[in-house]
Amino acid sequence: MTDLASISLTVNGERISAQVLPRLNLADFLRDHLGLTGTHVGCEHGVCGACTVRANGDIVRACLLLAVQVENASVQTIEGLSDSGEVSDLQAAFRDRNALQCGYCTPGMLMAAQDILIHEPQADREQIREHLSGNYCRCTGYHAIIDAVEATARARSEQAR
């Protein structure tokens, strides 16, 4: 009954098929089976946000999702967003504003930050802070991170004009 299950999904645009144990979570599947180690594993109970990825366009906690649950889903990780250039301005802003520090929380922060920039492009600092409230930075670089996201929001809205 605890046999391997077959799953098939798209990861960063690439079709993937695999055999997994039901207990395997999506974060470990991405890291250990696919070698996509940009998705970080912090607390493994949904508190820290380091494992944030996109599933069918929505940000989710990869540690709170079983690999068997993403059958047929489209998953995007930080590698996908980075390689496509989708978050290159955000990444540059993080670097410019010293919002990286140790970098452990950064992939999850970028996933969550890009999510609010898409859904609330005019977000103010308070909204950005609230949206990122589910992501821990143990270097406590929160202000610099909010600065970087706010700067990106402004730059994008000016570009859109």
Partner 1 sequence: MKASAFSYARASSVVDALELLARHGDQAKVLSGGQSLMPALNLRLSAPELLVDIGAIDELRGISVASGVLRIGALTRHVDVLKSAEIAKHAPLLTEAIAHVAHPAIRNRGTFGGSLAHADPASELPACVLALDAVILVRSKDGERRIQAADFFTGIYETLLASDELLVAVEIPVAKPNAVHFFHEYARRKGDYAIVGLAASGILSGDVLTDLRLGYFAVGDKPMLATATEHLTGRPVTASMLADAQAALDAELDPQEDQQASVGMRRYLARQLMARCVSALLERPDLETKALA
> Under the rule (CB under 8 A), what is the footprint of partner 1?
1-3, 5, 21-23, 25, 28, 44-46, 49, 52, 58-61, 63-66, 68-69, 71, 112, 115-116, 130-131, 133-135
Say if strands 52-55 and 14-20 run parallel, antiparallel, or are unpaired.
unpaired
Q: How far is the CB of 114 from partner 1 (least distance, A)?
A: 12
Q: How far is the CB of 73 from partner 1 (least distance, A)?
A: 11
Closest distance to partner 1 from the beta carbon of 100 (Å)? 21
| Measured distance CA(133)–CA(150) in Å, rounded | 15
Nearest to partner 1 of 96, 136 (CB atom): 136
Minimum CB separation from partner 1 for residue 14, in Å? 23
CB atoms within 10 A of CB 148: 27
Residue 107 C-beta: closest distance to partner 1, Å: 13
Residue 62 exposure: Cα atoms within 13 Å on the Cβ side: 30
> Which is nearer to partner 1, 96 or 142 (by Cβ)?
142
At residue 54, φ and ψ (nearest 5 deg) are -105, 135
Cβ nearer to partner 1, comparing 92 with 127: 127
Task: Output the six-digit token pair for 34.
Answer: 């696919």
- CA distance linking residue 38 with residue 51, whole number of Å: 9
HSE, side-chain direction, 13 A CA sphere, residue 7: 26
Residue 32 DSSP one-character state: I
Q: Nearer Cβ to partner 1, position 43 or 102? A: 43
Nearer to partner 1, 59 or 100 (CB): 59
